[in-house]
């Protein structure tokens, strides 16, 4: 039975990981910090180390560097675990000596495959394969996201109106246009699909983030809503689980704060039902309960809860957890939008190949001000040229 050293400072995560790994057939040795990870690796000699990167005393990167610098532990494979799904964090982990990198929340099937592959390589005495980013990884770059400000303002970019389809596009010029045998290539903004983004901007206020508070105790529910309203959030109230499930279907909420112990439909049922519904599964859920039992916490996380808070809770901790969940959702939404844009470009290319290209296919993607938007506008220009020559 392979022995794994699990390095994780969060007790809830550590217990959850341990149970999943043991059910898979691994023996697990837990460690709570970077220094204890280094010491236990030397004494326990595990077959593999699962290394969280955000640790007290020394972080996971430094702990890995120390393990790889010691001949006694250098050959033990290390897989990094991190909530920071960025190329920078990944490359830093690989540079420190990690063989693999897995983001949190963990894709267990992927992690088990990485563990088995690393163990097989270690047993065969082969060097790790080059750990390149997966093809479907999306890195948005930039610094870590700032806490969400529900009263912030956003910029809306205005798009130049597209030329009517029956109007022949032309290139503005101060000189007379000399007719040539080749068709004149229009500027990208004159193509009748969708004009590129201009520098014109209009600022408007963002709607406050909407939070559904699910709590059967009236006093607790009112107090929590007041605190959230004072911080600029809009709130909805549900006195039980059945009412909460009805509200999330009919209204839009950015996050749900849900009590566990409620009459009728309890918090576990609300959590399980929402995570099983594709239309609701992406809404972050923070479970709030007076229960201080590890089994209750683990059950919530296994059912898909994004976080867990004990009653009575500190307001500072509450708002930190809320902001963290909103940040995660924002990143998930950005990734989904990015992948939709990639799919639109793919469909446009397939349509072009079949001679069925429609400029409207890229009308949304062309409005982006990133590399995908540039690619869409260049593609549209080329498609316009091809169609002109075909005519």
Residues 6+ apart with CB under 8 A from 165: 192
CB 49 within 8 A of CB 67: yes
Calpha distance 81→99 (Å, rounded): 11
Calpha distance 357→340 (Å, rounded): 18
Confidence of residue 328 (pLDDT cuts 50, 70, 90): confident
Alpha-carbon distances of 263 from 138, 200, 215, 266, 271, rounded to whole Å: 43, 54, 10, 6, 15
Does the pLDDT value for residue 177 go beyond 50?
A: no
pTM for the predicted model, two decimal places: 0.45
Look at residue 239 in the predicted model and tell me its pLDDT. Answer: 92
Alpha-carbon distances of 284 from 85, 268, 305, rounded to whole Å: 18, 14, 7
Does the pLDDT value for residue 93 go beyond 60?
A: yes
Q: φ, ψ for residue 319 (rounded to 5)?
A: -70, -30
Query: What's the burial of 195, exposed, middle or buried (CB within 10 Å: 0-12/13-18/19+)?
Result: buried
- Select from 190, 197, 198 the least CA-distant residue to 165: 190
Does the pLDDT value for residue 130 go beyond 60?
A: no
Alpha-carbon distances of 335 from 127, 240, 265, 295, rounded to whole Å: 33, 33, 33, 33
What number is the average pLDDT over the span 83-99? 82
What is the DSSP secondary structure assignment for residue 73, as one 8-state letter?
T
Per-residue model confidence as pLDDT tens digits over 240-267: 999 999 999 999 899 999 999 898 899 9
Look at residue 248 in the predicted model and tell me its pLDDT. Answer: 94
Look at residue 377 in the predicted model and tell me its pLDDT. Answer: 85
Q: Which tokens is 2 given? A: 């392979």
Q: Are strands 307-310 and 285-289 parallel, antiparallel or unpaired?
A: parallel
- Select from 290, 225, 222, 296 the least CA-distant residue to 259: 290
Residues facing 29 on adjacent strands: 5
Asked if the bond preceding 387 is cis, omega within 30° of 0, the reply is no
Look at residue 259 in the predicted model and tell me its pLDDT. Answer: 92
Look at residue 38 in the predicted model and tell me its pLDDT. Answer: 94
Does the pLDDT value for residue 375 go beyond 90?
A: no
Calpha distance 245→241 (Å, rounded): 6
Q: Which tokens is 324 given? A: 């963290």
Domains of the chain plus CATH, in order, are: 3-124 (3.40.50.2300), 210-326 (3.40.50.2300)
Element (H, E) at 21: helix 11-23
Alpha-carbon distances of 228 from 16, 233, 234, 312, 386, rounded to whole Å: 30, 5, 7, 16, 56
Residue written as token pair 């549209």: 380
**126-128-129-134 Cα dihedral, nearest 10 degrees:** 150
Does the pLDDT value for residue 381 go beyond 70?
A: yes
- Select from 245, 295, 246 the least CA-distant residue to 271: 245
Calpha distance 127→96 (Å, rounded): 15
Look at residue 124 in the predicted model and tell me its pLDDT. Answer: 86
């Amino acid at each position: 039975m392979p022995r794994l050293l699990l390095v994780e400072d969060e007790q809830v995560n550590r217990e959850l990981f341990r149970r999943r790994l043991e059910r898979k057939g691994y023996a697990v040795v837990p460690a709570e910090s970077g220094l204890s990870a280094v010491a236990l690796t030397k004494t326990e000699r595990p077959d593999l180390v699962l290394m969280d990167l955000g640790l007290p005393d020394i972080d996971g990167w430094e702990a890995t560097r120390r393990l790889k610098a010691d001949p006694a532990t250098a050959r033990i494979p290390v897989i990094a675990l991190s909530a920071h799904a960025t190329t920078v964090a990944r490359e830093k982990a690989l540079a420190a000596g990690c063989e693999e990198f897995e983001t949190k929340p963990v894709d267990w099937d992927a992690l088990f495959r990485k563990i088995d592959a690393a163990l097989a390589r270690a047993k065969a005495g082969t060097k790790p394969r080059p750990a390149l980013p997966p093809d479907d990884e999306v890195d948005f770059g930039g610094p870590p996201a700032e806490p969400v400000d529900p009263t912030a303002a956003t910029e809306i970019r205005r798009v130049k109106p597209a030329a009517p389809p029956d109007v022949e596009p032309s290139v503005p010029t101060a000189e007379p246009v000399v007719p040539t045998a080749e068709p004149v290539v229009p500027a990208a903004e004159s193509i009748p699909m969708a004009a590129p983004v201009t520098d014109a901007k209009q600022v408007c206020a963002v709607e406050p983030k909407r939070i559904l508070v699910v709590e059967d105790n009236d006093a607790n529910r009112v107090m929590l809503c007041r605190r959230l309203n004072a911080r600029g959030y809009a709130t909805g109230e549900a006195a039980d689980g059945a009412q909460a499930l009805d509200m999330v279907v009919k209204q839009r909420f950015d996050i749900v704060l849900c009590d566990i112990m409620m009459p009728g439909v309890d918090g576990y049922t609300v959590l399980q039902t929402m995570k099983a519904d594709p239309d609701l599964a992406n809404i972050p859920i923070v479970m709030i309960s007076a229960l201080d039992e590890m089994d209750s916490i683990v059950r919530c996380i296994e059912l898909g809860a994004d976080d867990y808070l004990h009653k009575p809770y500190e307001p500072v901790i509450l708002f930190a957890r809320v902001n963290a969940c909103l940040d995660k959702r924002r990143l998930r939404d950005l990734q989904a939008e990015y992948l939709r844009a990639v799919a639109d470009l793919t469909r446009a290319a397939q349509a072009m190949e079949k001679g069925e290209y429609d400029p409207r296919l890229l009308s949304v993607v062309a409005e982006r001000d990133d590399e995908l938007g540039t690619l869409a506008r260049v593609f549209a220009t080329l498609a316009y040229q091809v169609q002109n020559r075909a005519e």
